[in-house]
């Protein structure tokens, strides 16, 4: 299927080049005494879970930043208004980061991390359940969005 899609061969070549690069990086780092990224730290389950959660939440945030203007443009909304929407997203995340840091100081690191990841998961779940007639998830939803 990939080779019939537009840019399919380029995608295959890119994935292949990234795979070879990742293998070469891992090989070099495993032999270096003062590695930039010591891969043995990923053996610790808590570190691997934290790194995976942070990676996935960052991926979700940045995909949102990239796709929201495209989706708003498809609905006929001007670029300036799309910028205001993204500005609201960024401004809302800043004070919540400070609050999460203070909560981590008081309650420990695990509670705010898991709570934040659950909230990140609930956003898309609520959105999907509000657009699918057969799905019912207990969250606030607006049919007009």
Instruction: Locate 82 and state its tokens.
Output: 């799309």
DSSP 40: G
142 has pLDDT over 80? no
Q: What share of the chain is helix, strand, coil (3-state, %, to 5)?
A: 75, 0, 25
Residue from 12, 36, 11, 13 nearest 25 by CA = 36
Contact 82/69 with Cβ under 8 angstroms? yes
Query: What confidence score (pLDDT) does residue 1 get?
Result: 45
Per-residue pLDDT reduced to its tens digit, 26-46: 888 888 888 887 888 889 998
81 has pLDDT over 60? yes
Per-residue pLDDT reduced to its tens digit, 42-75: 899 988 988 888 888 888 888 888 888 888 888 8
């Amino acid at each position: 299927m990939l080779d019939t899609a537009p840019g399919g061969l380029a995608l295959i070549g890119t994935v292949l080049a990234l795979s070879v690069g990742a293998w070469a990086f891992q090989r070099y780092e495993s032999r270096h005494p003062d590695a930039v990224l010591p891969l043995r730290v990923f053996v610790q389950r808590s570190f691997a879970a934290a790194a995976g959660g942070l990676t996935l939440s960052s991926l979700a945030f940045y995909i949102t930043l990239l796709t929201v203007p495209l989706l708003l443009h498809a609905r006929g909304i001007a670029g300036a208004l799309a910028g205001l929407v993204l500005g609201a997203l960024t401004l809302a995340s800043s004070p919540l980061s400070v609050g999460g840091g203070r909560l981590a100081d008081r309650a420990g690191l695990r509670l705010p991390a898991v709570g934040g990841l659950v909230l990140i998961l609930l956003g898309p779940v609520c959105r999907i359940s509000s657009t699918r007639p057969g799905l019912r998830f207990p969250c606030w939803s607006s049919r007009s969005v």
